[in-house]
Chain A
Amino acid sequence: MNNHTEIIPDATPEMKTLFETVKKVSFSTAEKNKQRETLRLYMHTPIPAFIQDDPFNKDTNNSVNYPVLSPFFPQVNFFHSLLTQTRFITFALALVLVVGTGTAFASKNALPGDPLYRVKLNVTEKAETLLSFGSQSQAEIALLHATTRLEEVETLTAQGKLNIRTSTIITKELQPNFKTQADSVTANVANLQSKGQAVVAAEIASNFESFLSSHQVVLVELTQHQENAPIHPSTHTFLRAQSQNEIYNKTQNGVRAGTQNTIQQDTSSLVVASTSVTSTSVSVEVLSSLTGEVGTHLLTTANARASAEGVVAISTDQNKIKESSETALVVSIQKINLASSAVAHAISTIRSTTASSTESEQSISVAQSRISSAKEDVSAGQTYIQTGEYGQAFLLFKKASRTADEVKITLEAIDGIKNIEKKNSKANTGDVPKEDKNLNLNLNTATTTGTSETATTTAIESDPAHSSLITSEPTMIVATSTAVENLNTDSFR
């Protein structure tokens, strides 16, 4: 290729070595393949480069989404333009200011089926994603969103609101969103690792793994309860120790075994096991499908975590790995303490309720045994530290942290579900007149307390004179004043 007739000076052998060394600055095969894929995608994207589905006009009844031109009008790379061109940042900030103060705040606790749920998914969380820069913060925000999705389903199920309408929303919006967020976590973790930030990558993947594995346990349990008692979901108790153990062991074996094949086999059997549960109702089907999705991502995350931890553990930089393992030790002890106090809290909850079942006691003993196994890991890790095998110590501390995290998250999730169910059963047996139920739901009060006292306060707050000030929305006035009338008659009855 080169034209060698040109006169060029000779380089000394040492210089030639130098030039060869410079060539070591290159992309890894993985990086190259990733870039290649991005380019291939870019090549097949029609100009203007980035077309997206219109987030504000998503029609769930009609599966066709009409593409619109992205309002950000990217020139090269959307995220890069965001970073380099200040007007986009201004735009994003303006959006957050306008939407962020009112609606978005109100949408924060929205569940599938609530009017603001779509705002939460498509505006609030999208804005959060757009405003996070760098792989680490993007991974963290995606992790948060993914776990929020799972918690939403759990809350919804516990509230007994899992009906055909909300199920459709879960399948069509929640689950795809969960998948997107989980994929984003995986992608960003891989990115961090390829940039040499294996410690951070391992940390995030490890956290995500704990979340997924704990919520998988909770979801499986909820599914079984839906099957057994689809009418009265509020009667169920703590996790069955047996199933928790079973799932835990399966996942752990798969992850610990290390080889790709074993992991795949194990988790695919897990996925099959959770999806092949005989579906007695739509809700069971929905929950199983979500559990399967969680299982798939759990596998991916466990792989990513193992790979990132492996990179840290075999690092040749002794000081760095020593530092990492010492941090991991401190973190694992903190997490074990947190998990222990969660167990203590669970025990006190059981004692305070009269209906303490053997199931809940079993689940506590499982939690306790897992905490002691985490403690064993920590002390084994400390022995490794003394012998200078920091890599091994790091892996053990991380494992202990994860175990403790899983115990804590699982107990907290169950506790949350139980609380909701308690409130629900109170609301159901409470003295709220039937004809008021609809109204109360609209005003969002009966769902939390269901007593007529709160109804009165609401009635006072939404004074008819005040509501008549709203002139632009005549239907709203009618609705509000009717509501107030109903409330008044009810509360003075």
Chain B
Amino acid sequence: MKTNRLFKIALRGLGRNKLRTFLMMIGIVIGISALTLIISAGLGAQQRVMNRVKKFGLQSMMVFAGGGREMGRPTGGQPTTTLTLRDAEAIKREVKTIDKVAPFNRKGNAEIKYLDKSTTATVFGITPSWAYVWDWDVQSGDFISESDMDNLKRVCLVGPTVQKELFGDENSIGQQIRIGNVPFEVKGVMQPKGTSPGGGDMDNRVNIPLTTFMRRVENVDYIFGIKILLTSTSQMEQTAENISAILRERHTIAEGMPDDFRIVTPEEVTQFAEKVTGTFDIFLVLIAGIALIAGGVVVANIMLISVNERKKEIGLRKAVGARSKDIKLQFLFESVAVTLAGGIIGIILGGIGAQILQMVTGMPVSVSWVGIVIGLVSSSLVGIIAGMQPASHAAKLQPVESLRS
């Protein structure tokens, strides 16, 4: 009850000097809006990374042909020809912690035609295990079967982007399309998957049986990579080492020589994605923190000036029965009310700023309760810390001396 009254007094005190209140608040508003903006942008980036890692799968890893490359991005030049379908079978056979493997090959920028329409897409040679390993099935039609593989059938699964480009809303299943000049029958339409960790459109694809890809399209006997699904998320490192050992032996790589393949784990995907999204900087948080501290110093200073200006008021309050504690609380409430209000305004401005940032730069932002809670807590804390000294000073004033001033 009494605390409630003191809080009202504090608010009235602030209301009596609006300019002073505004000046106290402004630094906090700036600090908290910066903090909110940075947290929102940081969380947005983090969420994007997490989405990517999730898309990659926490229980899986990838083996790519060719060493010393960035994940999924051949540096050009001669393709590495050493990774084969047999390697994939051997890995599956010999490593106990593996659930299933999905070897694949790919060809970028292939011309895809249907009647008089054409588009460019990436052609993937895949196996029936792909659906399970990638958790990526067809949304209509049938997936590639073992018999499609065995018979080198010219069938394909189109991604939603390709479907849209070539067929629009028409049913594509059973239609003939051409990859380059080779005719393929559309067997199904893939489920949409969105953007890849590398940023490409995973729906602008045409999937064909891996055997058909190797013999009829590219005429090669090597594969581009293997996606490996593990039985569990543990023993990631051990499994990677086992795979590495098997491949080095099969490729007869002498000790001390570099790998001609690269194993990518979810951890690496995370790091990679973070690199792509741009590092969410501790540095920026530091700047916001400094802005907030500066705001707090301003609050502390103005509060101290305010206490000195209002000595008479304090003396009077004590003369009519205010305890030192009441005076202290009154001034603490004043400073916390100012910083908290500043914090709320800052959160709102920061949130709006984050939305604008997203609209202008396309950077993903996420205004979440984490940012709001951090904003509210830190602004209240600044208020308490900044108000403590002035409030104690006010509480210690002697009524007679203060009244005389």
A and B from one complex: no
